[in-house]
Amino acid sequence: MRKTPLLKAVTTLLEKADKPLSVPEMQVLLVDQNLTPNKTTLYRMLDKLVTDEMVEALLLDPKVTYYEIKTHHHHHFRCQGCDTIKCVDDPVLETYIHALEEKLAAKGLKVEDHHFSLNGKCNQCI
Ligand SMILES: [Zn+2]
Ligand SMILES: [Zn+2]
Ligand SMILES: [Zn+2]
């Protein structure tokens, strides 16, 4: 992919963000850098970054896709009041899922991946 100023700005945004970002959120942040890409351009760029395994697309909300830099495996909490997303990284959970996978493997079910997210309200919205 050509290293355009927009591509560089988008990857920097995602690297610096402490939470996954949606395309509308990225557009707001890019305006601060005098960049005004349309949604189609951004979605196309993000699709390519997902294909290249640089970025992960998170399906936390049926209406909005959130993006984050691909790092280690983890899950997410989404506040239904204000759409805040928090990364949830819990080794105990993963150990349990691993044990479950072994149980399922014994029944002939090979788990290759798992996805889920937690929904609720953040402390601002309770
Ligand atoms: Zn909230
Ligand atoms: Zn995350
Ligand atoms: Zn997991």
Tens of pLDDT along the chain (126 residues)? Answer: 667 899 999 999 999 998 999 999 999 999 999 999 999 999 999 999 999 999 999 988 888 899 999 999 999 999 999 989 999 999 999 999 999 999 999 999 999 999 999 999 999 999
The CATH 1.10.10.10 domain(s) of the chain lie at 1-71
Minimum-distance ligand to the CA of 93?
A: 3
Minimum-distance ligand to the CA of 56?
A: 2
CATH classification number, 1-71, choose in 1.10.10.10, 3.50.50.60, 3.40.50.620, 1.10.540.10: 1.10.10.10
**73-126 architecture in CATH?**
2-Layer Sandwich (3.30)
Count Cβ atoms below 10 Å from residue 92 Cβ, excluding itself: 7
Res 48: pLDDT: 96
Residue 17, classified by CB atoms within 10 Å of its CB into exposed (0-12), middle (13-18) or buried (19+), is middle
Q: State pTM to two decimals.
A: 0.85
Report in angstroms the alpha-carbon separations of 47 from 1, 85, 89. Answer: 12, 21, 25
Ligand 1 centroid–CA 75 distance in Å is 17
Ligand 1 centroid–CA 92 distance in Å is 26
